[in-house]
Structure 1
Amino acid sequence: MDCKIFHWWSGQRGNVNSHGSRLFQPTPTRNNNSDLDNSEGSGNGRPRFVAVTTLEDVQAVRCAEFHPGGQLYAVGSNSKTLRICAYPKLTDLREDHQTYQPMVLFKRTKHHKGSIYCLAWSPVGDLMATGSNDKTVKLMRFNSDTSNLEGDEVELTMHDGTIRDLCFLEDTSNKSSLLISGGAGDCKIYVTDCATGTPFQALSGHTGHILSLYTWGGAMFVSGSHDKTVRFWDLRTRGCVNMVTPITVPGTRQGSPVASLCVDPSGRLLVSGHEDSSCVLYDIRGGRNVQCFKPHSADVRSIRFSPSAYYLLSGGYDNKLVLTDLQGDLTLPLPSVVVAQHQDKVISGRWHPSEFSFLSTSADKTAMLWALPPI
């Protein structure tokens, strides 16, 4: 493939991260696990992320999301507990840091009748939504001054299966927030007007459970499904505007259930994580697969661009969180390195909105905050 297609990508990113330097030397690995395991040692220019805080629960922790303001984050668990924690100051972080428990500002037990599978904040941070295997979505107002949920919550009952993911869109025409929700059951994606708490649209198309939703601003969002497809939706046209099947078996047309996905801030590159341990880069504007790579040895359940989009953070059922460098030619092998590990499956990984730190949640019953000590 002609690498000139991607000059916008490498040119846009340059060679620095938010710390002002490359995190690790871009010596391409072969994207298999022996390469990754061998690259965790120190002294070779690799990133040394430190576990800053550990939140412990009695059951698997499924989801965690930073508030858009970056000063706190929310955590949802299989124990039905919702917590909001303070984001700590990291200026004095050292490599010999002793992990501690985060400050919990808000805690609600039995928030749902079932496990909390997903949660999301609105872009301005005044709304929060949670989804559960009790088949309901809860929509709540949030006061960032008091770090508390306020007023009556709205319970949405239009789904007939587990809600697997949520995201908020801003409807610029009437300045209101829209909540997008999807999951198991009828495989429909529902659009709810947050001002009225009323679902007003059901988007059909997927033939398998919806496992992942993502928006990068505007009226567009994408959905990933167990049916192995990614669908692009535009609420201005009230429907699906494109459908792709990311190819995970080179030389074939075969795909794998899409467990996670994200789009870079420019809306040009889609990355999908799959149940067969593959990740696929897809050029949206060119309408083509760029490459398939395997930074994990099991399901890739979470995938996110770093705030500057220089790096990709993926989390997998192999208990690992992997950082992949996207600063070179995206058609060549991509350097990847394991930056964090749990005792059990990693379910989600989320970047801080502006700092080079991330949250991870796991079946090992913890949510952990990771960061790089100042150089």
Structure 2
Amino acid sequence: MTRTKGTEEDKSKTKFVAVSTLEDTQAVRAVAFHPSGAFYAVGSNSKTLRVCAYPDTLDTSGASKPPVVRFKRNKHHKGSIYCVAWSPCGQLLATGSNDKYVKVLPFNTESCNATGPDLEFSMHDGTIRDLAFMEGPESGGSILISAGAGDCNIYTTDCQRGQGLHALSGHTGHILSLYTWGGWMIASGSQDKTVRFWDLRVPSCVRVVGTAFHGSGSPVASVAVDPSGRLLATGQEDSACMLYDIRGGRMVQTYRPHLSDVRSVRFSPGAHYLLTGSYDTKVITTDLQGDLTKQLPLTTVGQHSDKVIQCRWHPQHLSFLSSSADRTVTLWTHNT
């Protein structure tokens, strides 16, 4: 599987610099950019939910400054906030916690405020480890998927109507990561060492991919699918990443960019880079612009003083967020 160079310039050799850093009192688990790119949400172990402004101008010359916090809610959950997600239209902000609740906050970006009471969903019987909204007009833009510990089910919820739709069962270990694409498709990564693909048109599992290609396999801590829907990437607890050709139904390669658990994987908007964050405290990009079966060029683009928990690309720019157990979220951008 070979990729050709496209419009996203080759910036893998350029340095990424920290533009802003938000400090919290506890580990920061969850970050998510608003679809417009103008804001980002941050969820912390301190139970605090914040929405920060993406800076109008990115100053790459000086020290990292605190971001402008436009919305803040203390004790948004009764427990730590493990995951955050915006709806495709940007008017709903969902959070999941170890208090076993999913909350969905109607949000107005003009006033930067909540516009109504939270929707609360209590179908989970364990920590919610990840959630995501289905994309595309097919699903109406308000269908939320959520999963985690407990019964190992994936739940789909219509937030417009405030009602549950499906419970998807099949995983035998806690679900650590979810990703949606193509309007109906879901990928889920689990402690049971598999990735499962689901199609909501036939609410069932359509494929199981194991990680046991080299040895006993490993729990899958993070999953992502590139914008074309062709390539799956996984981040695993054995420090490996797997690239899997979805259409061809085959593994392309497994490689080890990190020295510890890979907790976050995300393709850049043009899919030329894979961004990975690890418990080894590093954030790395893998260049995907050549032959994906060969050795892939790696660049360290960010560093924390403790475990990296989540990384997310800006929807339009070559900037990204990384959250860490060092109690910070940092916004990085390439230094042109």
TM-score exceeds 0.5: yes
Of 119, 142, 151, 1:154 maps to 119
Q: Does 1:60 align with 2:27?
A: yes
Cα displacement (A) at 1:172: 4.2
Structure 1 CA distance for aligned equivalents of residues 182 and 105 of structure 2: 21
Name the counterpart of 2:229.
267
Percent of aligned positions that are identical: 60
Structure 1 CA distance for aligned equivalents of residues 124 and 270 of structure 2: 35
* Greater than 4 Å deviation, 4+ residue runs: 170-174
Cα displacement (A) at 1:188: 0.5
Name the counterpart of 2:11.
23
Name the counterpart of 1:84.
51
1:152 partner SS:
coil
Cα displacement (A) at 1:350: 0.3
Structure 2 CA distance for aligned equivalents of residues 282 and 145 of structure 1: 40
Residues 30-72 of structure 1, C-alpha deviation per residue, up to 9 Å, x if partnerless? xxxxxxxxxxxxxxxx321111001000000001100000001
1:355 partner SS:
coil
Name the counterpart of 2:271.
309
Name the counterpart of 2:62.
97
Distance change (3 Å), C-alpha of 1:177 and 1:342: same
Cα displacement (A) at 1:147: 1.4
How many residues are paired up? 336
Of 58, 61, 69, 2:36 maps to 69
The gaps in structure 2 that reach 5 residues or longer are: none
Distance change (3 Å), C-alpha of 1:124 and 1:247: same
TM-score (norm 1): 0.87
The gaps in structure 1 that reach 5 residues or longer are: 1-5, 25-45
Q: Does 1:326 align with 2:283?
A: no
2:323 partner SS:
strand
Cα displacement (A) at 1:90: 3.1
Q: What RMSD, in angstroms, separates the aligned Cα atoms of the two structures?
A: 1.4
Residues 82-124 of structure 1, C-alpha deviation per residue, up to 9 Å, x if partnerless? 0000000235x33x32110000000000000000000100111
Decide whether the 8 Å contact of 2:88 with 2:141 is kept in 1.
no
Decide whether the 8 Å contact of 2:133 with 2:141 is kept in 1.
no
Structure 1 CA distance for aligned equivalents of residues 210 and 197 of structure 2: 12
Residues 268-294 of structure 1, C-alpha deviation per residue, up to 9 Å, x if partnerless? 000000000000000111111100100
State the AA in 1 paired with 2:40: Y
Cα displacement (A) at 1:247: 3.7
Cα displacement (A) at 1:217: 3.1
Of 160, 173, 188, 1:195 maps to 160
Distance change (3 Å), C-alpha of 1:297 and 1:248: farther
2:251 partner SS:
strand
Of 355, 358, 366, 2:317 maps to 355
Structure 2 CA distance for aligned equivalents of residues 312 and 175 of structure 1: 29
State the AA in 1 paired with 2:297: P
Decide whether the 8 Å contact of 2:147 with 2:154 is kept in 1.
yes
Cα displacement (A) at 1:300: 0.2
TM-score (norm 2): 0.97
Of 246, 255, 258, 1:296 maps to 258
